[in-house]
A and B are shown apart, each in its own frame.
Chain A
Amino acid sequence: MATLHALANPARFLRIARPLTPILWWMGAALIAFGCWAGLTQTPPDYLQGETVRILYIHVPAAWLGMGGWSGIAISSIVFLVWRHPLAAVAARAIALPGAVFAAICLVTGSIWGRPTWGTWWQWDGRLTSMLLLFFVYLGFIALAKADRERGGDGRIPALYGIAGTVLLPIIRYSVVWWNTLHQGASIGLTGSSIDRALLWPLPFMLLGFSALFGAIVLMRMRAMLAIAKAEARMQRRARA
C-alpha cells in the first residue's frame, strides 16, 4: 500500500512517469517491429487458414489490451472510490481512449480474418457481440467522464460506471465456453496452447510490445491531463487575484 500512496502524489508520479514514458515507447516500438518481422516472414502459414493466420499477431494483443484496459479502468475506479486518490481517476480517463482504440482494432482485424475463414465479415455471435458491447461501453465511459469533468463533478459517477462495466469481462471470456459460438474457444490457456510453437513464438513479443506501447500512451495522457489541471488551477488563481 505504501508504494500506491507514494505514487498517488502527482509530483512523485511525474518524477517516475517522465523517464518511464520514452523507455516504454521505444521498448514497445522495438518489440512490435521485431514481432511484425517475425510474424510476417519467419513463421509458416497455418494448415487450414493459410496466410490469414498472421492476423492473430495483432488481433490477440489488441483483444488482450481491449479487455486489460477495462480491468485497468475498474481497478483505478476502485482505488479512487475507496482511497479517494485523485490520480486514480486521471488514470482511468487516460486508459479509456487507448482501450477503446484497441477494442476497435480487435473487432476490425477479427472481421478481416472472418471473411476468408468463416465466410462472413460479421455475425451476431456471443463473443463478437459482447466485444462490440465492450467497445460501446468504452465510448460511454469517455463521454461520461468528459461530461462529469465539464460540469465540475467529483469523478464518482464515471468511477461507478467503470466498476459496473466489468460485468462484461467474464462474459467475453466465457462466451465461447458457455454458449456455442462461431468464434473458436481459447487457444492459449494457463496449461498450454493449441497453437503450434512454430506459429506461436512471435506472439509474446507482440503482446509485450503492445502492452509497453499501451503503457506509454497512458502515461503520456496522464501527464497531459495533470498539466491541463495545473494550468486550469493557475488560471483560476489568476482570475481571482
Chain B
Amino acid sequence: MTAKNQRLMLVVLALAALGAAAVLALSGLKDQAAFFYAPSDVAGGLPAPDKAVRLGGMVQKGSIRRAADGVSIAFVVTDGRATTPVTFSGIAPDLFREGSGVVAEGHFRPDASFAATNLLAKHDEKYMPPQMAGKMHETTTLKDTR
C-alpha cells in the first residue's frame, strides 16, 4: 500500500467516524436537545411542577377560550395522541391561531394542565399565497375567535 493510499484510507475512516459521531450526537441528545415536550411525552410522567419547561404541539381547533379580562386565554395543545390544556395571559404572537403550531414556555401544574408564561408560534414548512390558502385551508384568526 502506497503512502497516498494509506492516507486516503485514514481519511475515509475519519469520515466514517465523524458520521457515526453525528448519529450518536443526534440520537443521544434526543431528550436533552428537544426544544419542547409534546403532550404525549408527558403522559407517562410529569416534569416537576416548578421546573420551567416548554410544551409544543398544535392548537386544537375550536379550543381557544378568551377570558373577560381580554388578556387571558385558555386553549388545548395536541400532538394527535394526547392533549394538554394550557392557560396563558399576555400578548400572543400574530401567528398564534387554531390549527397552527405553538410552543408554550411555563410549567406544569399537578393536575397535568400547563401554565404558560410566554407563547411562541411555530411555523410549519408549508408556504403558499393567500388566495390558495383560502381554498385549501380554513384559517381562523384571533379576530374570528373573539
Contact = CB atoms under 8 A, between A and B. Distances in A.
Contact of A48 (B11, B29, B95): B95
B45 to A, nearest CB: 18
A205 B22 CA distance: 32
B15 A175 contact: no
A56 B123 CA distance: 13
Contact of A167 (B7, B18, B94): B18
Given A81-B7, A117-B121, A195 B30 contact: no
B129 A180 contact: no
A179 B30 contact: yes
Contacts of B130: 44-47
Contacts, number: 137
Contact of A83 (B4, B14, B123): B4
A21 to B, nearest CB: 30
Interface residues of B, number: 48
B26 A170 contact: yes
Residue among B38, B126, B134 with the highest chain A CB neighbour number at 10 A: B126
B93 to A, nearest CB: 3
Contacts of B19: 170
B94 A163 contact: no
Interface stretch (A31-39, A184-192, A230-238): A184-192
Contacts of B38: 180
B30 A178 contact: yes
Contacts of A181: 35
B81 to A, nearest CB: 14
Nearest to A166: B18
Nearest to B130: A47
20 contacts: A44-B131, A46-B127, A47-B132, A47-B137, A49-B95, A49-B123, A49-B127, A82-B8, A82-B11, A170-B23, A170-B26, A174-B22, A178-B30, A179-B26, A179-B29, A179-B34, A180-B36, A185-B124, A195-B125, A199-B127
Interface of A: 43-49, 53, 56, 78, 81-83, 116-120, 123, 125-126, 163-164, 166-171, 174-175, 178-182, 184-187, 194-196, 198-200
